[in-house]
Chain A
Amino acid sequence: MNVIETENLIKTYKRYKKKEGIRGSIQGLFHREYEEKNAVNSVSLQIAEGDFLGLIGPNGAGKTTLIKMLTGIIAPTSGRIEVLGFYPNDLKNEFKMQYAVVMGQKSQLFFELTASDTLRMFKEIYEIPEEEYQRRKKYFTELFQVEELMNMQVRTLSLGERMKMELIAALLHNPRILFLDEPTIGLDAVASRQIRSFLKRVNQERGTTILLTSHYMEDIKMLCGRSIVINHGNKIYDGNTEELFERYQRNKKITATFEHAPGRDFEKWAGEAFRGQAVTILENTPYKKVWRVAKENANHVLQEIMRQEPADISVEEEEIGVIVERIYREEEAYA
Chain B
Amino acid sequence: MMTRFQKNYRVVKELVRLRFQNLMMFRLGFFGPFFVDGSMFAIQLLVFRAVYSNIDRIGSWREGEVILYIGTFSLLNAVSMVVSFFGVIDIAPKIQSGEMDLYLTKPVSPLLRLTFEKVNPGSVPLVAMSVLIIIYGIGKAQIVPTAGKIAAYLFWFAVMEILYYCMEVLMRCIAFFIVSTAKMERLEEAGLELCMKLPGIAFYGVWKLIFYCFLPYGIMATLPVQSMVGEMSWGLGLFGAAVVSAFCLLTCFVWKRGVRRYNSASS
- Residues of A near B148 (CB, < 8 A) are none
Is B101 a contact partner of A93 (Cβ separation < 8 A)? no
- Residues of A near B108 (CB, < 8 A) are 93, 125
Which residue of B14, B25, B107, B267 contacts A120 across the interface (Cβ within 8 Å)?
A: B14
CB distance from A318 to the nearest CB of B (A): 24
For A180-202 the 0/1 string (1 means CB < 8 A from B) is 01100000000000000000000
Is B101 a contact partner of A73 (Cβ separation < 8 A)? yes
Given contacts A73-B105, A96-B107, contact A91 B21 (CB under 8 A): no
Size class of B's contact patch? 20 to 34
Identify the stretch in A102-110, A269-277, A292-300, A301-309 within 8 Å (CB) of chain B at 4 or more residues: A102-110
For A46-89 the 0/1 string (1 means CB < 8 A from B) is 00000000000000000010001001111100000000000001
How distant is the Cα of A89 from the Cα of B256 in the complex, in angstroms? Answer: 11
- Closest residue of A by beta carbon distance from B29: A112
Is B264 a contact partner of A125 (Cβ separation < 8 A)? no
CB distance from A177 to the nearest CB of B (A): 11
Residue of A13, A105, A125, A182 contacting most chain B CB atoms (<10 Å): A125
Is A117 a contact partner of B18 (Cβ separation < 8 A)? yes
- Residues of A near B259 (CB, < 8 A) are 91
Given contacts A68-B264, A121-B18, A127-B7, contact A106 B104 (CB under 8 A): no
- Does A124 belong to the interface (CB within 8 Å)? yes
- Does A101 belong to the interface (CB within 8 Å)? yes
- Does A328 belong to the interface (CB within 8 Å)? no
- Does A126 belong to the interface (CB within 8 Å)? yes
For B99-127 the 0/1 string (1 means CB < 8 A from A) is 10110111110000000000000000000
Interface residues of B in 236-267 (CB under 8 A from A): 259-260, 262-264, 266-267
How distant is the Cα of A101 from the Cα of B106 in the complex, in angstroms? Answer: 9
Q: A73-B264, A74-B262 are in contact. List 14 more A-B contacts (CB 8 A).
A: A64-B267, A68-B101, A73-B104, A93-B107, A93-B108, A97-B107, A99-B105, A103-B102, A104-B267, A120-B18, A121-B18, A124-B7, A125-B106, A127-B1
Is B18 a contact partner of A110 (Cβ separation < 8 A)? yes
- Does B22 belong to the interface (CB within 8 Å)? yes
Given contacts A74-B263, A106-B99, contact A113 B21 (CB under 8 A): yes
Is B267 a contact partner of A96 (Cβ separation < 8 A)? no
- Does B206 belong to the interface (CB within 8 Å)? no
Residue of B2, B7, B105, B263 contacting most chain A CB atoms (<10 Å): B105
CB distance from B62 to the nearest CB of A (A): 49
Given contacts A13-B263, A124-B10, contact A101 B18 (CB under 8 A): no
Interface residues of A in 125-151 (CB under 8 A from B): 125-127
- Residues of B near A124 (CB, < 8 A) are 7, 10-11, 13-14
- Does B38 belong to the interface (CB within 8 Å)? no
How distant is the Cα of A75 from the Cα of B14 in the complex, in angstroms? Answer: 31
CB distance from B9 to the nearest CB of A (A): 10
Given contacts A74-B263, A124-B10, contact A103 B101 (CB under 8 A): yes
A-B contact pairs, 28 of them (CB 8 A): A68-B264, A71-B105, A73-B101, A73-B105, A74-B264, A91-B104, A91-B259, A94-B107, A96-B105, A96-B106, A96-B107, A100-B105, A101-B102, A103-B102, A103-B267, A110-B18, A112-B22, A113-B21, A120-B18, A121-B11, A121-B15, A121-B18, A124-B11, A125-B106, A125-B107, A126-B107, A127-B1, A182-B267
How distant is the Cα of A153 from the Cα of B266 in the complex, in angstroms? Answer: 28
Which residue of B7, B105, B267 contacts A72 across the interface (Cβ within 8 Å)?
A: B105
How distant is the Cα of A71 from the Cα of B266 in the complex, in angstroms? Answer: 15
